[in-house]
Amino acid sequence: MKRVPLRRLALDAYRGISADDEMAEIGALAERLRGARVVHVNATAYGGGVAELLQSLVPLERGVGLDSQWWTISAPAVFFDATKRLHNALQGMPLDLSTTQRALLQSVARRQSPKLPAADVVVAHDPQVVALRHFNADGRPRWIWRCHIDLTTSHPSALALLLPYVQEHDAMVFTIEAFVPASVDRSRVRLIAPAIDPLSEKNVHLHDGVVAATLRRFDVDPRSPLLVQVARFDPWKDPLGVIDAFRIVRRRVPDAQLALVGGLADDDPEGVAYLERARAHAAGEPRVRILTNVDGVDARDVNAFQRAASVGILKSLREGFGLAVSESLWKGVPVVGGNAGGIALQITDGADGFLVADVAECADRCVRLLSDEGLRRRLGDAGRETVRRRFLVTRMLRDHLRLYADLVAPR
């Protein structure tokens, strides 16, 4: 098990961005919780939405006076093969784990759990670490399981494997009501949506010259309309469907460009293979750029691509939340998103973006936005306000502090 080194983030940096009443409540909750030991644990410190959330949430918890730490588990590659298979099954693929894979999930948890440091609260993020509580003999901490994935169509055998471990936690956090399995104890459930950090490298303001230079560095024309999807390369994000939609768009907007930008996460063994599938699917289409961290794309480059976009896309088939939606909306860019899970929480169809069900709808809404600058501006402005009110990291911090206070410092 490895501790992720972290700094402290000062809450005062967000004054003038986040609402005053929200900031005041954070201060009051932090005073009640001062010195509380909180341990977040997940599978990886790099790649994917969970790592991005923890990169801001934990430093902010530290900044308001909590003794918060972030730890990742150590496990062999075959463990992450098994957990990716479980992840896919929980999102609806008709898959099952072998007896060996099920035993591996338990053996890793059994070895890793005793290595957790002493804490008042442990927050275990996603299925990779759901069994840690089962093998932890320390009765002092209160345990929270945080589910970041879409469980609306879970394969029954996968859910049956997961739920006994979930039920052992003192609290369970889901993004939306639809993700909550019917059999869990509803009194222990909290709904907390993820959020973005407006001051992170991925979201901080960039000057137009920096944005244009970034595009040119990756051989993208800053003068032509640009569609951008920022997402992992896996079947749930449907990059192949986005490429198909783009080909339809180009019949109406010949100079349009598409950038598929994503990171290869440490805990996603399918990433490289699906990246190659996307590249093969885009063969013969010179106005598609497919880029990852291996090509040198970092958080600030992603920021530049999202700011340069005429339209953001996240055409997910299943989606726990989809941080890229709020990231684009915060930059005033309207988003065409799959009508799935957490995307529908962020987008009100026709008000700050569009929700779509298939390739044809995705292409149609992209063309509509590319053809109407006034519509793009109106939806982008509305989307930025939606994120300011609902999806900034200070709101997520407040929601977590409320939960910690209820567990360890009740009124």
- Region 268-289: mean pLDDT is 91
Reported as a single tens digit per residue, the pLDDT across 175-196 is: 999 999 999 999 999 999 999 9
- Residue 134's nearest CA partner among 109, 171, 97, 101 is 109
Residue 267 has pLDDT above 60, yes or no: no
pLDDT at 411: 46
pLDDT at 112: 95
Residue 70 has pLDDT above 50, yes or no: yes
Going by pLDDT thresholds of 50, 70 and 90, the confidence category of residue 46 is confident
Q: Domain 208-390: which CATH class?
A: alpha beta
* Region 2-195+392-408: CATH code: 3.40.50.2000
pLDDT at 219: 96
The SS3 of residue 63 is helix
In the chain, the percentage of residues whose pLDDT exceeds 70 is 98
Reported as a single tens digit per residue, the pLDDT across 305-335 is: 999 999 999 999 999 999 999 999 999 999 9
- Region 377-405: mean pLDDT is 98
pLDDT at 221: 96
- Residue 118's nearest CA partner among 176, 185, 69, 173 is 69
Residue 17 has pLDDT above 80, yes or no: yes
Going by pLDDT thresholds of 50, 70 and 90, the confidence category of residue 266 is low
Residue range(s) in the chain whose domain bears CATH number 3.40.50.2000? 2-195+392-408, 208-390
pLDDT at 270: 79
Going by pLDDT thresholds of 50, 70 and 90, the confidence category of residue 410 is low
pLDDT at 149: 94
Residue 143 has pLDDT above 80, yes or no: yes
Name which of 194-208, 369-383, 397-411 the model is least confident about: 397-411
CA distance 124 to 19: 29
**What's the mean pLDDT when you consider all of the chain?**
95
Reported as a single tens digit per residue, the pLDDT across 94-133 is: 888 899 999 999 999 999 999 999 999 999 999 999 999 9
What does each C-alpha distance from 411 to 172, 370, 402, 405, 406 come to in angstroms?
A: 20, 53, 11, 8, 7
- Which residues face 125 on adjacent strands? 146
Residues 6 or more apart whose Cβ sits within 8 Å of residue 257: 220, 221, 224, 225, 226, 227, 287, 288, 289
What does each C-alpha distance from 229 to 113, 224, 273, 290, 383 come to in angstroms?
A: 37, 16, 18, 10, 17
- Region 129-156: mean pLDDT is 94
- Residue 269's nearest CA partner among 128, 51, 80 is 80
pLDDT at 153: 93
